[in-house]
Amino acid sequence: MCDASAAVALDKDHFVVADDEMNTLRIYKRGQPSSIKQVDLSKFLDTKPDKESDLEGAARIGDTIYWISSHGTNKDGKVQDRRRRFFATTVDTTSSPPSLKPIGAAYSKLVENLSSDPRFAKYKLAEAATKPPKTNGAFNIEGLADGGNNKLLIGFRNPLPENKALVVTLENPTDLIEGKGEAKFGNPIELDLKGAELHFEVSGQGERSGSSGKATSTRSFIAAT
C-alpha cells in the first residue's frame, strides 16, 4: 500500500489502514506484508470504487473507529461531494481476525456547518473549500484524534491562519453517525507550529501527539505536542 493515510490498532496483533486513493479499508496482521481482510466502503460512501473519497484521518473511541476524508477539492479545484465524508465503523474483536463494519450513515455537511458558525468566520471556509487543496488558504483536513469525553479533534493541513495549525473539536460525533442533527464544534484552536500543519499520531499506549509539515509541501515533518 503506497498511499496509506490513516491506521488504527484493532488488537495487539492486527490493525486497519485507510488509503487516500481508494475506498477500501485493509486489515493487516503484524509481521505479514499483505492484508488479510478488506472492507469495500464504496457503496456505503455512495461513490464508485474508482472514485476515491480521499480518506485522511481515523480515531478510535471504544469499539468505534471514526474516519474522515479531506473535505477538499480535487487537485484542479473541483468540488466533489464524495470527498466530504465523516463516518464510523464498529470493531468486532470476538471474531478472528477482528472485523469491521460501517455503522449508521456517512455525514457530509461539515464544511457547511463550519462555514455557518460565526466563530470560524475569519477563516473564510466556504471560499477555502473551493480552492485546490495545496493552495494557500484552501480547505484540507488531514487528521483525526480522540479528544476525550466522546469528542474528536479535527486537524487541518490547510488553512494555516497566521501560519498556525488549525484544530477543531467536534463535540457530537455519535449524533452525526446516528443522524441526529448537525455538527457542533468547540472554539477554534490555533497551534503555533511555525507555518506547518498538524498530523495526529497515537502511540500504542493511546497517547496522542502530533507531527506537521508545510501545507504546500510533501511530508517534511517536525515534531509537535
Task: Kindly report, residue by residue over 104-155, the tens digit of the pLDDT.
Answer: 999 999 999 999 999 999 999 999 999 998 888 999 999 999 999 999 999 9
Residue 180 has pLDDT above 90, yes or no: yes
The per-residue DSSP string of 174-212 comes to: HHHHTT-S---B---EEE--SS-EEEEEE-TT--EEEEE
pLDDT tier at 195 (50, 70, 90 boundaries)?
A: low
Residues forming a β-bridge with 24 = 40
> What residue segments make up the domains of the chain, in order of their start?
4-224
Q: What is the pLDDT of residue 209?
A: 37
In single-letter form, the type of residue at position 142 comes to E
Residue 103, SS3?
strand
Collapsing DSSP to helix, strand or coil, 106 comes out as strand
21: confidence class by pLDDT, cuts 50, 70, 90: confident
Burial of 141 (0-12, 13-18, 19+ CB in 10 A): buried
Which range among 18-27, 86-95, 200-209 has the greatest average pLDDT? 86-95
Residue 14 gets which letter from DSSP?
E
The confidence score (pLDDT) of residue 20 equals: 78
In the chain, the amino acid numbered 56 is E
Residue 120, SS3 per DSSP: helix
- Band of the pLDDT at 200, cuts 50, 70, 90? low
Average pLDDT, the chain: 86
Give the whole-angstrom CA distance, residue 58 versus residue 69. 9
**Has residue 197 got a pLDDT over 80?**
no
Q: Compute the distance between CA of residue 213 and CA of residue 97 in angstroms, rounded to an integer.
A: 35
pTM: 0.88
- CA 62/CA 88 separation, integer angstroms: 12
Whether pLDDT at 45 is above 90:
yes
pLDDT of the residue at 218: 32
Any idea which residue has 495526529 for its cell?
200
